[in-house]
A and B are shown apart, each in its own frame.
Chain A
Amino acid sequence: MDRRTFFKASLAGGTALATGAASCPAQARDTHPMPAEAVGLLFDSILCVGCKACVAACKEANGMPLEFSTADQYWDTPLDISGKTLNVIKAYRDGKMEAKDREENGFAFIKKSCMHCVDPSCVSACPVSAMQKDPKNGIVTYDKDACIGCRYCVAACPFGVPRFTYDKAVPQISKCQLCVHRHKDGKYAACAEVCPTGATLYGKVSVLREEAKRRLAMKPGEKTQFPRGHLRAAEEKALQGAPEGRGEMRRQGWTDDGNQNYPGVAGQYLQHIYGEKEFGGTQMLMLSGVPFQKLGYPDLPPRSDAATSETLQHTLYGGLIAPIAVLGALTFVARRNVKPEDGEGGQHG
């Protein structure tokens, strides 16, 4: 009896597991594709002069408190993003710091803020849908009213972006939401709006990517025009084939900040658009003359961790098929082995 029950249990369990495994290919979850209307930022480290106007503008636009890192607390001096700071410019320094954008004995500036991943770990990790990715524009938003403060997003993000206000009794997550609250007023990300050199540009990711490729194709020292602010002109150009044609951006409610292109010369770029492939892509793209790992950005595979994690979860729990099958098998076996007197303690056959 013992052996036969055991055999049946094993058989039933095995069938259940096989069912789960068989559903595996169907449940595999690929890295999500970029939303067609995705918006984001292009950060060009070579154009950045380190003025930190974007840091101040971000604070103001998002109503964030000042943060001090000096003994005399004269002005806002954040060293990193935090519960109080959504965007910072950091400096890379090496040796004698003789030339800008050079890896050895050079220096460079780098922006740190949310990458707005195409397939974000924070969204997959969040158990209560507080982190959401807009299906249309792809902006990763945070809803503090849904959040339970578990900080799984903080731990999961490979860029270390979501931050938490540990010093508060009523804490919350802080992260860049691409100034989505300003969109209704026809305004875009404050960091891009104030950037004097166009080092941070706002626009559709498809257009930003074209602009990044244009820069990488130029010879160092070649004369060119750099756009500033919002890639409105380029987006309108992209829309020209469409029936709406010119002026569409304005009709959509965008304020007309005019053509802000200015003349400049192409820098010595690394042939790498960071964020184009990393982690399945991000909606913030970056260009630099110094390797990104030196600037604090990890070397990430093209597959997102969210895809791996969800493939595992869907394989085990998809449609609850495997758990129900296993429960059925366990119930069958337990029914034979548990005597009603078991609850009375120890009168086992």
Chain B
Amino acid sequence: MADHSHAHAPRPLGGSAFTPFTLLLGVLAAIAGVILVYRFFYGLGAVTNLNDGYPWGIWIAYDVVVGSAFACGGYSMALLVYIFNKGQYHPLVRPALLASLFGYTLAGVSVIFDLGRWWNFWHIFWPGYAQVNSVMFEVAVCISAYIVVMWIEFSPAFLEKWGMKDAKRKLNKLLFFFIALGVLLPSMHQSSLGSLLVIFGQQIHPLWQSGMLLPVTYLLTAILLGFAVVIFEATLSSTGFKRQLETPVLTPLAKIMYWTLAAYVVLRVIDVVMRGALGTAFAATWQAFWFWVEMACFIVPLATLASENARRRASCLFVGAVLLMLGGFLLRINGFLVGYMTGEGWSYFPSLAELMVTIGLIAFEILAYIVIVRNYPVLPAAQPATR
């Protein structure tokens, strides 16, 4: 076991940071930067399609709500490895944590772009201003705390690179506490991201207004997305960095993911039926259409990943993971935008500039990930793919 682990000790990948792909990512990130400068001088209305009927657009619904859920790989893996003591997944922790670190940090930073009166953002942490009954307060404080905790959790990788052995040893002794915090905090804010919708009451279509169950469905899908994202990223980085596929470790992971998925689908169906919302799923509306697309994204993997054989096939795993990510994306976009009905006469679809900012953020995230894994010990050292 020890030998096996040693073989997987993380090492910098090395290699050039300048490739046509990273250049493209850089250009996309720069375009987003220019749009954001414009936004800060001329207001949100100058670049977004936001209006009083849809005061939240993709910068909240995607960048924060979906973005942070996509960044749950670190959370799900920590839960599995350190809480449920599944040591065999240990090599997956660091790369997952790095992706989470970037996903969350950017989700946190992107909130500033969306805040109208951003210079006051510190009020949310300040006694006298902070309003503890607000779900938004819980989300903001908890996400901020988690970002700090993740940087601490990840710092051994930096300390290792910088040769700070002493600091690293001291930190390692306390690491268990930060790991516990790193499991608690996402459990809190990923559920609260769902709770944000509770106060919208009837303004949310019955297919997504699950009331007191919102925190449960959002948390369960966040964990599910964490597993899916780890499979997705492991497959992509194996292909992208021309490394051996990590399928042997992903197959048992997919089994855990499968049963989490089954629990979610059962809960979701029971919830929709019990609240008497099922009828609205058969109405001729866009909401009903997108509900079925969302459900299909969860139900198809429930069928395709059912057998151990299927879970051994990298292609099957990858397609299942992508579908689940799409399902988690749709659950959130449907709840925050498609199913948000604030009265007649309002409509929203993101502007090109809004989309370019979101795309630029994702590009920046991927770029930073590539730069870090090439220069810091993140990915498990493994032999290049042999064919």
Minimum Cβ distance to chain B for residue A169 (Å): 5
Whether B6 and A146, one on each chain, are in contact in the complex, defined by CB atoms closer than 8 angstroms, is: no
Q: With A and B bound together, what is the CA distance between A2 and B138 in angstroms?
A: 34
Contact residues of B between 175 and 209, Cβ < 8 Å to A: 175-177, 179-181, 183-184, 187-188, 191, 195-196, 198-203
Q: Kindly list chain A residues whose C-beta atoms are within 8 Å of the C-beta of B176.
A: 331, 334-335, 337-338
- Asked whether any CB of chain B lies closer than 8 Å to the CB of A45, the reply is no
Q: Does A135 contact B (CB under 8 A)?
A: no
**A252-282 interface bits toward B, Cβ cutoff 8 Å, 1 = contact, 0 = none:** 0000000000000000000000000000000
Bound-state CA distance A335–B195 (Å) is 31
Residues on A with beta carbons closer than 8 Å to the beta carbon of B188: 316-317, 323
Tell me if A167 and B46 are in contact (CB < 8 A).
yes
Binding stretch for chain A, among B85-93, B99-107, B272-280, B364-372: B85-93
- Fill in one digit per residue for A66-87: 1 if any B CB lies within 8 Å of its CB, else 0: 0000000000000000110000
Alpha-carbon gap, A114 to B134, bound state (A): 20
In the bound assembly, the distance between CA atoms of A300 and B160 in angstroms comes to: 59
Count chain A residues whose beta carbon lies closer than 8 angstroms to a beta carbon of B: 71
Residues of B near A337 (CB, < 8 A) are: 81-83, 85, 176
Min CB gap A283→B, angstroms:
19
User: Are A343 and B172 in touch, CB under 8 angstroms?
Assistant: yes
Closest to A132 in B: B131
* Complexed CA–CA distance, A176 and B340 (Å): 24
B339 at the interface (CB under 8 A from A): no
- Tell me whether B134 and A312 are in contact (CB under 8 A): no
Q: How far is the CB of A345 from chain B (nearest CB, A)?
A: 5
The number of residues on chain B lying at the interface, defined by a beta carbon within 8 Å of a beta carbon of chain A, is 87
Give the contacting residue for B85; candidates A2, A165, A331, A343; CB below 8 A. A2
Mark contacts of B150-171 with chain A using CB atoms, 8 A cut-off: 1 yes-contact digit, 0 otherwise: 0000001101100000001101
CA–CA, A172 and B114, complex, Å: 13
Give the chain B neighbours of A154 by CB distance below 8 A. 52, 55
Report yes or no: A338 in contact with B200, Cβ–Cβ below 8 A: no
Asked if B116 and A164 make an inter-chain contact with CB atoms under 8 angstroms apart, the answer reads yes
The distance from the CB of B101 to the nearest CB of chain A, in whole angstroms, is 15
Q: Is the CB of A334 within 8 A of B83?
A: yes
Neighbour of B202 across the interface among A145, A170, A300, A344, CB < 8 A: A300
CA distance A331 to B84 in the complex (A): 13
14 A–B contacts from the bound complex (CB under 8 Å): A2-B85, A9-B84, A127-B134, A128-B120, A129-B131, A149-B118, A171-B43, A305-B200, A308-B211, A313-B133, A313-B135, A316-B188, A316-B215, A340-B173
3 A-B pairs closest in CB distance: A149-B116, A166-B45, A343-B156
Query: Could you tell me which A residues sit within 8 Å of B by CB distance?
Result: 2, 5-6, 9, 82-83, 121, 124-129, 144-152, 154-156, 158, 160, 163-172, 296, 298, 300, 305-306, 308-310, 312-314, 316-317, 323, 326-327, 330-331, 333-338, 340-349
